[in-house]
Chain A
Amino acid sequence: MPPLDSFSTQSEPAPAAGMTRRSFLRTSAVLTTGLAALATSLRPLLELDDYTSVERFMQKYYKEMTPDDMARVLKRIENEVQKQYGIRPHVRDLRPMDGVQFVYALNLTRCIGCRKCVHACVAENNQSRNPEIQYIRVLRMPHGSLDIEKAVHDYAPESVPEKGHFYMPVQCQQCKNPPCVKVCPVHATWQETDGITVIDYDWCIGCRYCEAACPYWARHFNFTQPSIPKDRLNPEMAYLGNRPRRQGVMEKCHFCIQRTRAGRYPACVEVCPAGARKFGNVLDPTSEVAYILRTKRVFIQLKEELGTSPRFFYYFDV
């Protein structure tokens, strides 16, 4: 800062007894301005509390946490959510169940393209409303082709289904061979034993490599602080699931971990008015997904040729 320099570069040394009136005024004026500028420029540090806390900074990797560590972390998350939204959530760390492999089946004959699943998912999983983050994208395609180049996702007719079209909702395919996991430089995303690829939002550095690697546009990045109206927050949360994310982290469909690992159906299955969405444990031969894979014309895993081996199957009746 120039005023500091003026002490040393003055051609005449200041009188030993003190300073002249002029130099005092000049020095103090410039010093005040300088300090004010410095203080203002450091102002964002005051808001740092919203971005990180010592606890979060010192938090261990998910797989290395002891049950005690996890209990502390869940408490911290509950406090943070309560501070931000005024609602005390119920955050759990649900682990995969033994003998369970989740599989999703979607009936393209039945889907009517109403997008109820999209919004039920947003409501269940506390996704940002503005800017919008949606895990499900419903593609409308002309009959007789499966050319995604011809797909439209912002159709808005008065009434669906439209003649001559069919609808194909696309979301995270929970690949058995997930390219997004391979590219993550910090192991913030991995595949669990029940087949769900999860993200530790506290470990993600936001490099978006996974978004680039995913061939299904399934991963979404929080470019801004997500905005969720308080009265629409779902307080039933899971650590690897729908707890509120912060700016700069990735998120994606996790088969509603907070529901499915507690034995319930995902929100998109519950809301589908056409019964086109089916979910269950493929290792249980009596489950509907096992039945579908056995008996139905399961025609694709989307982009099968990439070798990602999705756990998400599209099928037709008949």
Chain B
Amino acid sequence: MADQPPNARNGKRPKTALVLWGLSVAFAALATVFGLNLWGYSNPLYPIALVDRAFLSTDTNRRSYADLVRAKEDLSDFDCYACHDKGKPPTLRFDDHQNLIIPREHSDIVMGHGEHGRNNNCFNCHNENNLELLQTRDGRVLKFQDSPQLCGSCHGPTYEDWEVGAHGRISGYWDRKLGPFKRQDCVNCHDPHSPTFQGRKPAPGPHPLHVLPPKAPPAASD
């Protein structure tokens, strides 16, 4: 330190200039960056289409008879005696393999209840003496609105689960003190004639954060 001049001011001058120059370069660089908006993402995110609102719908697969009654909708499909005669149970026809032949008037029905294909007698569930009612194997006669009891007469364990809310859809309030809850009926999800769940299109999967640029085609190799 002895070789430094007693007055350090002269010695500091080039240093101050250096700092000031450095600062001006830094600020100018920052100004360029902000001015040209180079900050942030040089590659903007690629657009992702919003998901179709149909995937957000909480509607059930099907509408049950009870739903139609509640919504006061057209129930003419359930007016059996517009075509059938009262007091005259319709006859069922079977082909050589004991498969039910579905009459043309009921061509919308697909019979597929049970994988064995043997549960194909309409009157296992429908009441032949009054087609607008249902019947269980143990002889109870039920209205269309009370169909879960009919299902439960064969599917006992599932019915037990359903009663607690462990099988099937449930919505509303988990805290029964705070509000109502709704348990969907069997036929809100399952078609009684063909109860297996049908496949559906899945909602779009996750998108990657960035799309990688397409790979360059591999150079022709020998």
* Binary flags per residue of B167-188, CB closer than 8 Å to A gives 1, else 0: 1111111110111010010000
A139 smallest CB distance to B (angstroms):
11
A136 smallest CB distance to B (angstroms):
10
- Select which of A122, A157, A275 is within 8 A of B202 by beta carbon: A157
**Interface of A with B (CB < 8 Å)?**
1-2, 4-5, 8-9, 34, 36-41, 43-44, 97, 112-116, 118-120, 122-123, 129-132, 134, 137, 153-161, 223-224, 229, 232, 260, 262-265, 269-275, 278-281, 286-288, 291-292, 295-296, 317
CA distance A219 to B77 in the complex (A): 51
Query: Which residue in chain A gives the minimum CB-CB distance to B175?
Result: A263
**Nearest 4 pairs of A and B residues by beta carbon:** A263-B178, A41-B30, A263-B175, A159-B199
**Interface of B with A (CB < 8 Å)?**
13, 16-17, 20-21, 23-24, 27-28, 30-31, 33-35, 39, 41, 45, 47-48, 50-51, 55-58, 60-61, 161, 164-175, 177-179, 181, 184, 189, 197, 199-207, 209
Asked if A160 meets B171 with Cβ closer than 8 Å, knowing A1-B20, A43-B34, A123-B56, the reply is no
Query: Which residue in chain B gives the minimum CB-CB distance to A34?
Result: B24
Tell whether, in the assembled complex, residue B24 and residue A131 are in contact, meaning their CB atoms are under 8 Å apart: no
Tell whether, in the assembled complex, residue A264 and residue B202 are in contact, meaning their CB atoms are under 8 Å apart: no
- Select which of A112, A119, A155, A264 is within 8 A of B174 by beta carbon: A264
* 20 A-B residue pairings within 8 Å (CB atoms): A38-B31, A113-B202, A114-B201, A114-B203, A115-B205, A118-B203, A120-B58, A130-B48, A157-B202, A159-B200, A160-B201, A161-B199, A262-B178, A263-B173, A264-B174, A270-B58, A273-B169, A274-B189, A280-B174, A295-B166
CA distance A275 to B172 in the complex (A): 14
Say what secondary structure dominates the interface of chain B. Answer: loop
Residues of B within 8 A of A260 (CB): 174
CA distance A229 to B131 in the complex (A): 52
A211 smallest CB distance to B (angstroms):
14
Residues of A within 8 A of B168 (CB): 275
In the complex, given contacts A41-B31, A263-B177, what are 17 additional A-B residue pairs having Cβ atoms less than 8 angstroms apart?
A1-B21, A1-B23, A34-B27, A115-B204, A116-B203, A120-B56, A131-B45, A132-B207, A134-B206, A156-B205, A159-B200, A260-B174, A262-B178, A265-B174, A281-B175, A291-B161, A291-B166
Query: Which residue in chain A gives the minimum CB-CB distance to B162?
Result: A275
Query: Which residue in chain A gives the minimum CB-CB distance to B164?
Result: A291
Residues of A within 8 A of B31 (CB): 36-41
Residues of A within 8 A of B197 (CB): 112, 161, 274
Tell whether, in the assembled complex, residue A279 and residue B169 are in contact, meaning their CB atoms are under 8 Å apart: no
Asked if A270 meets B171 with Cβ closer than 8 Å, knowing A115-B202, A115-B205, A232-B50, the reply is yes
A261 smallest CB distance to B (angstroms):
10
- Select which of B28, B58, B165 is within 8 A of A271 by beta carbon: B58
Residues of A within 8 A of B207 (CB): 132
Tell whether, in the assembled complex, residue A38 and residue B202 are in contact, meaning their CB atoms are under 8 Å apart: no
